[in-house]
Structure formats: C-alpha cells, structure tokens
Structure 1
Amino acid sequence: MTVSQETSRRLAESFLAACQSGNLASLTQLLASDATAWADGGGRVRAALHPISGRETLAKRFLFWANQIPANHIQSIEEINGAPALLSWGDSQLNIVLTFDIIDGNITGLRCMMNPEKLAFLQRQLEKRQERQKLDELM
C-alpha cells in the first residue's frame, strides 16, 4: 500500500520527537512488530554489521543512540530521494541520514547511512538544492 507524503512526514517527525524526548512508548508504537534497521558505515565508521530486528529492540537502541548525539548537533526532517528522512548535522557536516520504509502507517524499516563518502556526496547535493532555492526566491 502506497503511503502519502503527508503520512510519511508525520511518522518521520513523530519518530524524531519520540527519540528527542526519550519517549519509549511513543517510539515503540511507531514501529511495526517486525521492523528492521540496517546501517552503512562504509567500513569507515562504527555501524551495526548485521540488521537489527524487533519493535522493542529497535526502540531501545534508537533511544540509546539518540542520547549519544552531542547537544550541539541539529536534527531535521528533509526530503531525500522523494521521501522524508531524518538528517543529523554537527559542525556544518552531515553525520547521519535515516530513511524510513513505511507500510500501513507503521515504520517497517530504517536505513541508517553513516558512510562518510556517501554523506559528503549527499551534503554537496543538499547544498546545491539550497542554493537553487535561494535563487528561486530572488526571482
């Protein structure tokens, strides 16, 4: 079943809010019972080597990881590849991109990109997008 852009964005925003507030119950409700997360560190940063599955396990892991993010980092929801994604920035550098697989109003998959080479490429693309948007606003 195709999920609307609005529903996808609402779920991504709710996921971020639950992580930031430490609300385990809310985070758990957003995840499908068989939700799975994958990580890509590109062999350059520490990342899970195998998929992690299960609603409760994932909720606890993501709350733990959220507590590890330095206070000066900024998290936001942006459109990546036509869908909402959670981005984490620190010192003007993109550190993490988390994308969501959504079925029937639940998050079924989370894909965490931490590979520095891929993130550098994506950051350049996002900066170009911002430049285009600024130019469009001037016209």
Structure 2
Amino acid sequence: MAGTPQTAFDDRGSSSDDRPDAATEAFLAHRNLLFTVAYEMLGSAADAEDVLQETWLRWVEVDLDAVRDQRAYLVRVTTRQALVRLRTLRRRRESYVGSWLPEPLLTAPDVAEDIELAESVSMAMLLVLETLTPTERAVFVLREVFDLEYDEIAGAVDKSPAAVRQIAHRARAHVAARRPRGVVSVAETRDALDAFQRAVETGDLQSLVDILAPDVVLLGDGGGVKQAVLRPILGADKVARVLTAGQGRIAGRAELRPAQVNGYPALILRLDGETDTVVALRVEDGLITGLYAVRNPEKLSHMERETLLRR
C-alpha cells in the first residue's frame, strides 16, 4: 500500500474504470474530519498524517458490510491510533529544547466561520489541551468539539459510558479554568494584530506596550534548531523590548505578512524570502495576552498550502 488516499489511488484503492472503490470513497469522505480529530489530539500535523495512514491501513482490511456507521467507526480507529501516538509524544516532549508549541496550520476562511472549530484548533486552546491526560484529551475533543455520544466515545477510549461521563466532567472543568475568557471574534483578533504589526514594523515601543496586556506571555519554539526564547517571557515591557530588539537585528531582510493560522489572524515572518516564523496571538478584551512564535523548521511545512479542517 502506498500512502493515505487523497486525490490519487493505488491499485488496491481503484476499480477497473479508475473510480475509487467503496473503502477508498468512504475514507476520503471523512478524511478531513479524521485529520482534524487527530490534529486536535496531537497538536502536530505530521503526526496526524501518520495516524491517518495507520487508520487507512486498518480500514482497508474491514468488512464494510459489517460496519453500521462508517463515520463513527473511522473516528474510533483514528482516536485509538492517536492515543497510542500521544503517549509516545508526551515522553519525547519532556526532553524538548525550550517551549513546545503546536504545529501551526494555514487554514481556509471557512474555519474561522465555525467559531467552535476555530477556538478548538487555536494555538491557545491546543496548549490548554496539552495539560490534560491523553484519555481526558480524547474525551474532551470527541465530546465538546465533535459532539459524539458518550457510548461512541466509550468505544474509542476503551472505557464504560459512565466512566466517560466522569472523565468528560473533569476535563471540562480543567479546560474551563485555563481557556481564554470568552470567545474572541476574528475581527477583534485582526484589529489587535494590525496594531501589533504596525508597532513592530515601525519599532514604536510604546505602541507595542499599549497593545500588549500587562500580563502578556511570549513563548518561542525553535526546537533546538533555530534561536528562540527558551523560557516564557512575561510582562508587556519585557516582551515589547525582546520583540523590538529582535526586529531591529533583521531590519531590511524581514517581511511580516498577515495570514489565517489555526482559524485566527496571525503573522508570518519571511526572512530573505523564506518562511522563518509564524506568530499566533491570544487576545482578550482587545489586548494581546499571548504570543506564540514557532520557528522550528520541522513545524512550518504546512504553511505553504491551506489545510482543510472539518467537524
């Protein structure tokens, strides 16, 4: 078997007239949904793609006549594979150099139109989900984002429906205590982003301080490959000085471009014509409370084309 089917099919996934067979057609119909499930559980597009490959390999061995609900079945297999991978990734992230941030995705405008989906894949929310246990994360994502019934989730995480209800309650409380206060509109985020971009490009320190919340936090992810702040920078004055100093060092070589990243407006820093950094924001009450700067080259490959996310 080659790779996960997308626009082309290998011999096993094709019929004599080059149309997809039933298994391939069903998988493709739900592929974007399955990717979204895996990505929300893992925070990594590359690992989500690997999970989809594992799901596909299991799917083509299934007797379709015995599957009552193909969507539920595929979500269950994807969840199980994502749980296995998530537990492995947790161990790796313990030795990660500096702060670990989710892999940013260039998303289509329709993601922003689905407010709940946009919030669930935002950098801020993905970092909150990182604080859950793997099972709590799976239950929260499947229940709160994809609205699956408890008995469906139970089959995906190998727990009883009663246990799933308890896990869901615990996960909701945990997330509620850490998530951004209230849902922020795309327009509000864009206004804050525009002010932030002007301040950075002009080097206006005071304007930068004015758009940052007093308790703003800056996180950088270079993965030990690119230079980035190794620990969180806290406070508007400190963050503003770090940003203006950094921009000063690359003046004349850098270009800031607005983009739609993980459902919200963000900035892409291009250095000498190449994507160097993706800067996502967390906005509350019109001020920036979180800045997430991803520089690790391994995490920037999905910034060249839009990723389709679905619920």
Instruction: Give the TM-score category using the shorter length.
Output: 0.7 to 0.9
- SS in structure 2 of the partner of residue 102 of structure 1: strand
Report the TM-score when normalising by structure 1.
Answer: 0.84
Matched, 1:124 2:304: yes
- SS in structure 2 of the partner of residue 33 of structure 1: strand
What is the deviation of 1:47?
Answer: 1.1
Matched, 1:39 2:220: yes
What is the deviation of 1:74?
Answer: 1.8
2:234 to 50, 53, 73: 53
Whole-angstrom CA distance in 2 between matches of 1:34 and 1:70: 27
Match of 1:105 in 2: 286
| CA offsets 1:75-96 (integer angstroms, 9 cap, x no match) | 1111011101111113432100
1:29 to 210, 225, 228: 210
What is the deviation of 1:5?
Answer: 0.8
For structure 2, the residue ranges without an aligned partner over 5 or more in a row are: 1-181
What is the deviation of 1:25?
Answer: 1.1
What is the deviation of 1:70?
Answer: 4.2
Q: Higher mean Cα deviation, 66-75 or 53-62?
A: 66-75
- Structure 1 or 2: larger strand share? 1
Whole-angstrom CA distance in 2 between matches of 1:63 and 1:32: 16
Shift >2 Å, 4+ stretches: 122-126
Give me the identity figure in percent.
Answer: 32
Whole-angstrom CA distance in 2 between matches of 1:60 and 1:72: 20
Whole-angstrom CA distance in 1 between matches of 2:195 and 2:244: 13
| CA offsets 1:57-112 (integer angstroms, 9 cap, x no match) | 11111111111224133211110111011111134321000000111111000000
Aligned residues: 127
Asked whether the 8 Å contact 1:93–1:123 carries over to 2, the reply is: no
* Letter of the 2:238 counterpart: T
* Letter of the 2:286 counterpart: G
- Structure 1 or 2: larger helix share? 2
Whole-angstrom CA distance in 1 between matches of 2:251 and 2:202: 15
* Letter of the 2:213 counterpart: A
* Letter of the 1:115 counterpart: N
For structure 1, the residue ranges without an aligned partner over 5 or more in a row are: 130-139
* Letter of the 1:124 counterpart: E
* Letter of the 1:84 counterpart: P
